[in-house]
Chains A and B, each alone.
Chain A
Amino acid sequence: MRILKLLIFLLALVPVALLAWRAMAGELSANPIKDITEETGIWTLRFILLTLTITPLRKISGWAPLARFRRMIGLFAFFYGSLHFVTYIYLDQFFVLDEILRDVVKRPFITVGFAAFVTMIPLALTSPNRVAKWMGGKRWRLLHRLVYFTALGGVIHYLWLVKADTQRPLMYGGILVMLLAYRLWDYVRSHRIAEKSHSRIEANPA
């Protein structure tokens, strides 16, 4: 199990390693800062969606250990999101605060992107076991429902920044819709089962 976790950890680092290598080898395009922004951004979205894939995969496959990877994948989403955010405020805006604030307020795609990033912060901070225990399972699970807004914000951020080609952001949106649809179906199904067992108990109180 530990080896598998290590393997996945290393695999998750491959995108940033490749990006760094290409940057140093001069293999990025004529606009390397744009490339870095776009690469870190798309991997943030991919890791967010990957995080949301774990529970459906676990339930469908029945392989419970999958749950143990969810935190790591989620933290990698936060990692790539942070890289994307730092690239924007440093390489794009050079830490000029009022320019950044103006962008966040006036540019809808940046507003929603920034908001999506902000939702990841409490999720990252409450990821350690100790913190989750202190919070209690119920409150922790409620807080971590924020990830749905993170994912939605990420997709809308992408959709609102493309000039004409909405195909790719809509594709990610489609994946998100499927992942959410599964959860909805699963919730309805388990709710009905709970109802049935309740009504059976009521009919046979003994």
Chain B
Amino acid sequence: MLIKQADELHPSEITPENVYLNRRTFIRIASAAGIGLASSAVFPHLLDSQDRWPQGKKGPYDVSEEVNKFKDITTYNNFYEFGVDKGDPAENSGSFHPKPWTVHIEGEIKKPATYNLDDILKLSKIEDRIYRHRCVEGWSMVIPWRGFPLADLIKRVEPTSKAKYVTFETIYRPEEMPGQKRSVLEWPYVEGLRMDEARHPLTLLAVGLYGKDLLNQNGAPLRLVVPWKYGFKSIKSIVRIKFVEKEPQTTWNLLAPNEYGFYSNVNPDVDHPRWSQKTERRIGDFLKRKTLMFNGYGDLVSGMYTGMDLKKNF
């Protein structure tokens, strides 16, 4: 499946002298000529050795901190469906088949339907976003996601006035997800957002990272990214999106309601009952760093929470 680029080059603009083997330029040119996939097969080492996404803000929602290495993003994962150790998802997701994939979009909307992945990708323009990602455990990364705003999907499906929350559900497939054979969490994994959070321009439905399709361990083929909340809210391998009236149950809250709240906004002033949230370890750094309110997205999101007691609504 070809992910369309936001800026496509015309073959007439390619001149041999300008085709210097800058990795990303090469890939862009090759895919414009329609041989993107073929070139990645012929020159796999070019993609594999690209272990740093170019740093720097490109869009209004990007962060300018150094992006983490592809290897780290794809081998250090919490995805209990594949096992509870950090290396398990990369090791144990080999037999998971993310295609073909269908998503049921239902509930308080005018047009409930079952979409396949290609239909979903047609709903909006795919873009790259460089986001912070903060795990509730106290580590963080900077990840170049590829996807489109959930708001665009929401607009298309036309929610009714009864739709106050959006819920998401991960696939339940224990034959391919060995971690689901044990009830370490209740399966299938579920999550939810308030409608304004779901519609927020930062909230992304991601289909890729580092310019490639999501690997199984990162939640292939479709996942949520809500960068101002703890990582467990960014549900992976989504098969159902349902619009509901009441605040929904979420998996970690079901397991430990006093530890994982519905909102789970990144907040250095609200500790986890068992450990502090004041600092975090950015993967790749030696020293720890101070955790930022709303993971540094305060000016974009704090407006949704004015007047809310964030200690109570943790």
Contact = CB atoms under 8 A, between A and B. Distances in A.
Closest 9 CB pairs of A and B: A30-B72, A30-B76, A165-B84, A30-B283, A165-B184, A164-B184, A29-B76, A29-B86, A31-B139
A195 interface: no
A31 B75 contact: no
B274 A109 contact: yes
A167 B86 contact: no
A112 B284 CA distance: 30
8 contacts: A29-B76, A29-B86, A30-B69, A31-B281, A106-B276, A161-B274, A164-B255, A167-B182
Interface residues of B, number: 28
A34 B139 CA distance: 10
B287 interface: yes
A148 B287 CA distance: 36
B198 to A, nearest CB: 26
A100 B82 CA distance: 34
Interface string B65-85: 000110110011000100010
B76 A31 contact: yes
Interface string A98-123: 00001100111100000000000000
Contact of B87 (A29, A92, A103, A167): A29
Given A29-B75, A29-B76, A164-B80, A107 B139 contact: no
A103 B276 contact: yes
Task: Give the interface size class of chain A.
Answer: 10 to 19
B185 A164 contact: yes
Nearest to B259: A163
A33 interface: yes
Contact of A160 (B69, B87, B274): B274
Interface string B135-149: 011010000000000
Contact of B86 (A31, A94, A164): A31
B250 to A, nearest CB: 14
B305 interface: no
B277 to A, nearest CB: 12
B275 interface: yes
Contacts of A108: 274
Contacts of B136: 163
A159 to B, nearest CB: 11
Contact of B284 (A30, A109, A167): A30
A3 B137 CA distance: 45
Contacts of A94: 287-288
B137 A163 contact: yes
Contacts of B72: 30
Nearest to B232: A163
Interface string B266-290: 0000000011100001011011100
Nearest to A92: B288
Interface in A144-165: 160-161, 163-165
Contacts of B283: 30-31
